[in-house]
Amino acid sequence: MLAGLSPKEFMKKYWHKKPLLIKNAFKDFKPVLSRAELFRLAQSDEVQSRLVQQQSNGDHSTWTVQAGPIRGRDKPSFTREAWTLLVQGVDLVNDRAAQILRQFRFIPDARLDDLMISYATNNGGVGPHFDSYDVFLIQASGQRLWRIGQQKDLTLRDDTPLKILADFKFQKEYLLEPGDMLYLPPRYAHEGVAVGECMTYSVGFRAPKSDELARDLLLRLGDEVEELMDSKVYADPMQGAVADPAQIPDTLQYFAMQALAKTIERPSVFARLLGESLSEPKDHVWFQSTADSSSKVRRNRPRHPCPEGVRLDDQTKMLYDALHVFINGESWRATGKDRSLMRLLANQRTLRAQDLDKASEDALGLIENWIDAGWAHSL
């Protein structure tokens, strides 16, 4: 898939650094959804979708954006030019889309975001722009002309609802055909224009922003602070008499700062909160419980929730760190054999029956709960 490059070489030479065009990255690429299926998906609340239409007046284009769900009556005619439908998170609802995303697991799961599918009629696209994250653009059907350039001036136009570069200057252009793939590092200017009807898949990444991460971790810490901290009462035996009673004492400021610092200075708590945050499912994700399947398999082999093995649901996020295992926003401390098994499950997203035989009763109980919740399925 990486034009003969090993994942190691790709990461070293290109990732976050420079674009790479890979002709025929996917041989005999078969789209995972037909046009009709994509539009059906865009009608549902399960996925995020957008309809983008471009109006050209000579050199000057304007865009209109409509947020999904996109109902049949909102959809422009397929014979009309220059519009596009974008559907986010298709990997969460389509197993083959999830399989495509999984081919990019040489990059940590904590960075991998989703598979977006766009459909465009001739000349359709979202205009010249840059993304804050890395992206792999896979041509799924039809052709698309990509123009790309590394420019310092990333000023955006202020007259459109889309982020459009005010002054886009491209340096290279590539016509992508089905199975071709273009990698772009963050903040690399690009514009993809459909040549005839086309579908493009974007493998997107997420990179947490320091301020958002800090806010999220502080909120999580706030919820737990009473459990985590001893409650000390401020004491001021050295307080002298004051002439300015409204002034906050320095010692009280210091006391408050220490209280906060003590809460934050706990690497293992921070690691746990981070893992819980990163493994949190997206807002619109819900799991379908398959409770009966585990009880059925339990009858076959009393000790075992799933005699043939177990696989994680496509929507499940499972991560781990040195001390914890995280699944869909929850955490456990695992040790010994169970820890190795849970790590194996997180990395492979499946465990074979032979591996499960080594699991403790506690670990099997957990896996059974996950199956009941629809987070995992027996094979």
Window of 13-21, 125-133, 236-244, 301-309 that interacts with Co ion by CB under 5 A: 125-133
Q: Site mask, ligand SIN, residues 126-165, x = CB under 6 A?
A: x----x---x------------------------------
Residue type, 233: V
| Closer to Co ion by Cβ: residue 131 or 330 | 131
Backbone CA torsion sign across 146, 142, 4, 135: positive
The option from ligand SIN, Co ion, none interacting with 378 (CB < 5 to 8 A, set by class) reads none
Minimum Å gap between C-beta 49 and Co ion is 16
Comparing CB distances to ligand SIN, the nearer of 80 and 232 is 80
User: Using the rule CB under 6 A, which residue among 121, 200, 315, 331 binds ligand SIN?
Assistant: 200
The three-state (H, E, C) secondary structure of the chain, written as one string: CCCCCCHHHHHHHCCCCCCEEECCCCCCCCCCCCHHHHHHHHCCCCCCEEEEEEEEECCEEEEEEEECCCCHHHCCCCCCCCEEEEECCHHHCCHHHHHHHHCCCCCCCCCEEEEEEEEECCCCCCCCECCCCCEEEEEEEEEEEEEEECCCCCCECCCCCCCCECCCCCCEEEEECCCCEEEECCCCEEEEEEEEEEEEEEEEECCCCHHHHHHHHHHHHHHHHHHHCCCCCCCCCCCCCCCCCCCCCHHHHHHHHHHHHHHHCCHHHHHHHHHHHHCCCCCCCCCCCCHHHHHHHHHHCCCCCCCCEEEECCCCCEEECCCEEEECCEEEECCHHHHHHHHHHHHHCEEEHHHHCCCCHHHHHHHHHHHHHCCEEEC
Of 109, 131, 321, 355, which one interacts with Co ion (CB under 5 A)?
A: 131
Residue closer to Co ion by CB (options 188, 332) is: 188
Query: Smaller CB distance to ligand SIN: residue 134 or 338?
Result: 134
**Nearer to ligand SIN by C-beta: 130 or 320?**
130
Site string for ligand SIN, 96-125 (x = CB under 6 A): ----------------------x------x
Question: Closest CB to Co ion among 104 and 255?
Answer: 104
Closest separation in Å from C-beta 156 to ligand SIN: 14
Q: Which of residues 218-247 bind ligand SIN (CB under 6 A)?
A: none
What angle is formed at CA 339 by the lines to CA 360 and CA 94, rounded to 5 degrees?
Answer: 95
In the complex, the smallest distance separating the C-beta of residue 187 from ligand SIN, rounded to whole angstroms, is 12
- Closer to ligand SIN at the Cβ: 118 or 378? 118
CB nearer to ligand SIN: pick between 131 and 314: 131
Residues that contact ligand SIN, how many (by CB under 6 A): 10
Under rule CB under 6 A, residue 192 binds ligand SIN:
yes
> In the complex, which residue's CB is closest to Co ion?
131
Residues that bind ligand SIN (CB under 6 A): 84, 118, 125-126, 131, 135, 190, 192, 200, 202
Residues that bind Co ion (CB under 5 A): 131
